[in-house]
Amino acid sequence: MPIAAPFLRAYALLLAAGLACAATAASAHPHVWVTAKAELIYENGKLVSVRDTWSFDPEYTAFLVQGLDADKDGKLSPDELAGLAATNTEGLSPYGYFTKLKVGGKEQAFADPKEPAMRLEGKALVLSFLLPLKAPIQQGRGVAALEVYDPTYVVAFSFAEGADAATLAGAPQGCAATVTRPKTEQPKTAEAGSPGMTEAFFEALTAASSYGVQFASRVLVACP
């Protein structure tokens, strides 16, 4: 069974695998589109973890699942997708799992991810994983702000519509989550011919870059 490349920013792997064909041009960005959901989990009044759930666009889904139907029954079971889920989740480590959390303005550190899983929902492959905080934090009246984005903009994230886009589990009474959308609309593609958006520009971006943050949606959690 072939091993699919992780969907992190790895241009050589993405382009060699033909993923750029999913975009309108080989020199266009982003290459992958993800619809995100997030669950912030509390225990004993403290914020302890974040569960990310990401749905991939149909074109990238078709690429990722090639050769994974081991029993040739025309379906992909969670067991058949387990290796892919673990590979993709582990590969996100250099990029902080595309997830940033601040509480009271202070960025929080995550421990290693847990519970990686994948499933198919229609034509979309869905990845979920749990990110425990290294140290549980008492939020109090401070605002928790969660962002999910790729700083290099190979992957375009947008939060789902509806109440289940951002949910709370075990949160103190009165806490509420809201999603704020970016003021800068995500372009469908950023063509290499556009001013300042050459392929060299994107290749120079790293995990420390700030380009992708302009397209980031945010989950804000406020407690009384």
Tokens of 19: 């993923």
With a CB cutoff of 8 Å and minimum separation 6, the contacts of 69 are: 75, 76, 80
d(CA 202, CA 79): 36
Flag whether the pTM goes above 0.75.
Answer: yes
- 132-168 pLDDT tens trace: 999 999 988 889 999 998 887 888 899 999 999 999 9
Q: Count the neighbouring beta carbons within 10 Å of the beta carbon of residue 111.
A: 12
- 4-52 pLDDT tens trace: 444 443 333 333 333 333 333 334 567 788 999 999 999 999 999 999 9
- 32 close to 57: Cβ distance less than 8 angstroms: yes
Q: Count the neighbouring beta carbons within 10 Å of the beta carbon of residue 63.
A: 21
d(CA 217, CA 200): 26
Q: Angle at CA 56, nearest 5°, toward 50 and 61?
A: 135
- 195-206 pLDDT tens trace: 455 666 666 666
d(CA 131, CA 40): 10
